[in-house]
Amino acid sequence: GTDGLEDRRNELGLGLEKDVEDLEVVY
């Protein structure tokens, strides 16, 4: 994700699903 909250989740490894959703939207 691009939001700060999403970034923090990514660092914790809890935003993986969110990233996948973002990629799906991009593609």
DSSP notation for 2-19? -SHHHHHHHHHT--HHHH
Q: Contact at 8 Å (CB) between 13 and 4?
A: no
Confidence (pLDDT) at 4 = 67
Confidence (pLDDT) at 5 = 67
How would residue 3 be classed by pLDDT, with cut points 50, 70 and 90?
Answer: low
Alpha carbon of 1 to those of 11, 13, 26: distances in Å? 11, 12, 11
pTM for this entry: 0.21
Please write the tens of the pLDDT for every residue from 4-25. Answer: 666 666 666 655 666 666 667 6
Confidence (pLDDT) at 1 = 47
Other C-beta atoms closer than 10 Å to the C-beta of 15 total 19
Give the span between the Cα atoms of 17 and 26, in whole angstroms. 14
